[in-house]
Amino acid sequence: MQAYPGFFITFEGGEGCGKSTQARLLYKKLQQHKIPSLLTQEPGGTPLGNKIRSVLKVKRDFTISPLSELFLFAACRSQLIQDVIEPALDSGRVVVCDRFSDSTTVYQGFARGLALPLIDSVNITATGGLKPDVTILLDISPEQGLQRKRKIQHDRFDSEEISFHRKIREGYLTLAGQEPGRWLVLQAGLPVNKLSQLAWEHIKPLITRGRR
């Protein structure tokens, strides 16, 4: 795996956890401190990724198999790394990404039931072995998360059975337990400003101590 002079931060969590809001707030904080940084998201972040995102997220009159989902997400990720993430890290910037490969492990693995070794292989191929320096998990019960999104038009994933979303939470907590040095688990029910403060307090000494 290639080492980059930048620093890579990802936000993860189930539906309605508020990770997109926290990713934006962290990016804003980095900008305020004049730290070279970039904010992006998955799926998306590139012209190809945005087109695939619309296929994956919007409810359609056709089905997408779990294996097809896996490869579509991997295609988005590979393009995003090549076009956006790698150049930013190589130039020494802090990259903040709303979802990354852990989402695939959880959604297509723990929740959809695809074999985890298969997902690991596809993830490694798509990322070239790139892993986040820090992953912030906003933990929330699926019932609370979906309730938060009740006024928003549901996408394909929101519309899944509650058992699907419970598996997602279980998957995230399992991954966080396996790599405690990389993951920071925050309770998503805390006030938005408090969550932003906790994330910044964790990140600030890491990015000022030195880059990879």
Instruction: Give the tens place of pLDDT for each residue, 9-64.
Output: 999 999 999 999 999 999 999 999 999 999 999 999 999 999 999 999 887 778 89
Q: Which residues contact 206 (CB under 8 A, 6 or more apart)?
A: 7, 133, 134
The percentage of the chain sitting over the pLDDT mark of 70, rounded to a whole number, equals 94
Residue 153: what pLDDT? 57
Calculate mean pLDDT across residues 119-127.
97
Structure tokens given for 192: 């938005």
Name the pLDDT band for 212 (thresholds 50, 70, 90): very low
pLDDT value, residue 211: 41
- Tokens read off for 30: 């980095």
Give ∠ CA 75-136-87 in degrees, rounded to 5.
45
Cross-strand bridge partners of residue 94: 7, 37
Q: Per-residue pLDDT tens for 124-151? A: 999 999 999 999 999 999 999 888 877 6
First to last CA, the chain: 12
159: pLDDT confidence band, cut at 50, 70 and 90? confident
Q: Which domains, and CATH codes, for the chain? A: 7-209 (3.40.50.300)
Q: What is the DSSP string of 37-94?
A: EEEEESS-SSHHHHHHHHHHHS--SS---HHHHHHHHHHHHHHHIIIIIHHHHHTTPE
Measured distance CA(173)–CA(95) in Å, rounded: 23
Tally helices (H) and strands (E) across the chain: 9, 5
Q: Identify the pLDDT of residue 147.
A: 86
With pLDDT > 90 as the criterion, what percentage of the chain qualifies?
83
Confidence grade of residue 154 (pLDDT, cut at 50, 70, 90): low
* CA dihedral sign of residues 135, 81, 192, 142: negative
- State the Cα–Cα distance between residues 16 and 188, nearest whole angstrom: 9
Q: What is the model's pTM?
A: 0.93
58-81 per-position pLDDT tens digit: 877 788 999 999 999 999 999 999
Phi, psi of 98 (to 5 degrees): -85, 95
